[in-house]
């Protein structure tokens, strides 16, 4: 009896996996068909030569084509129109530090202060853009790690640039 239950469970599990894989493959095929249709339509619209007018026409046609595609439920979920769109959202999380920023300020506090972070990165970029990339890539932004301690390869030139940039920032903030 236990053997039959285990075998039945294995069969049901196998069937579920097959159905899941088939559904995944079906969705992939639908996306590929949509991409192929849009590419073919664009190629037919452009013809043998492409200029700015034809390119714009292709983009508008592609937007309109994608807007007419139905979802699995058969409804039109959104309307897509050609054009340029812009959203402006206020950043409510980024706030300037309450006190002066120095090379002893914790990295996390500098990261949370957009102006202080830009002052530090500008100091690196003025001395060496490669060093700025390394600093961004390799620095662990720990809450209690001071700026100078966070990246031990800071040269005296970068440190001086940082101190100068942070002093100017502090002065502009009245510190």
Contacting residues for 132 by C-beta, under 8 A, at least 6 apart: 121, 124, 125
Q: Report yes or no: 132 and 157 within 8 Å, Cβ to Cβ.
A: no
Contacting residues for 91 by C-beta, under 8 A, at least 6 apart: none
Domain membership flag for residue 118: yes
* End residue of a domain, out of 44, 68, 92: 68
Domain membership flag for residue 15: yes
Whether residues 8 and 56 fall in one domain: yes
Question: What is the Cα–Cα distance from 61 to 156, expressed in whole angstroms?
Answer: 57
What DSSP string describes 58-85? HHHHHHHHHHH---TTS-------SS--
Domain membership flag for residue 28: yes
Q: For residue 8, give its domain range.
A: 2-68
Whether residues 111 and 168 fall in one domain: yes
Domain membership flag for residue 79: no
* Helix locations, the chain, DSSP H: 2-46, 52-68, 107-112, 114-127, 129-138, 147-150, 156-172
Beta-bridged to residue 106, according to DSSP, are: 146
Domain membership flag for residue 20: yes
* End residue of a domain, out of 68, 98, 115: 68
- Alpha-carbon torsion, ordered 47, 50, 52, 55, to 10 deg: 50
Whether residues 112 and 164 fall in one domain: yes
Domain membership flag for residue 123: yes
Whether residues 116 and 168 fall in one domain: yes
Domain membership flag for residue 129: yes
Tally the domains of the chain: 2
Domain membership flag for residue 143: yes
Per-residue pLDDT of the chain (175 residues; tens, 9 = 90+): 888 888 888 888 888 777 777 777 778 887 788 777 777 776 666 666 666 677 777 777 777 766 666 555 555 555 656 677 676 766 666 566 678 888 888 888 888 888 888 888 898 888 888 888 887 777 776 777 777 765 556 778 888 888 888 889 888 888 8
Element (H, E) at 95: none
Closest CA to 121 of 108, 132, 109: 132
* End residue of a domain, out of 42, 68, 94: 68
């Amino acid at each position: 009896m236990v053997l039959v239950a285990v075998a039945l469970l294995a069969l049901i599990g196998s069937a579920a996996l097959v159905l899941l894989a088939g559904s995944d493959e079906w969705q992939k095929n639908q996306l590929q068909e949509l991409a192929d249709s849009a590419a073919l339509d664009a190629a037919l619209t452009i013809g043998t030569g492409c200029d700015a007018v034809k390119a714009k026409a292709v983009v508008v046609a592609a937007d309109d084509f994608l807007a007419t595609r139905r979802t699995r439920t058969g409804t039109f979920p959104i309307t897509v129109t050609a054009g340029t769109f812009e959203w402006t959202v206020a950043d409510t999380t980024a706030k300037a530090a309450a006190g002066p920023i120095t090379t002893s300020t914790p990295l996390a506090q500098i990261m949370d202060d957009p102006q202080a972070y830009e002052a530090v990165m500008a100091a690196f970029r003025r001395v060496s853009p490669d060093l700025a990339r390394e600093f961004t890539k390799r620095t662990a932004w720990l809450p209690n790690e001071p700026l100078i301690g966070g990246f031990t390869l800071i040269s005296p030139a970068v440190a001086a640039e940082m101190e100068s940039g942070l002093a100017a920032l502090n002065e502009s903030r009245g510190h």
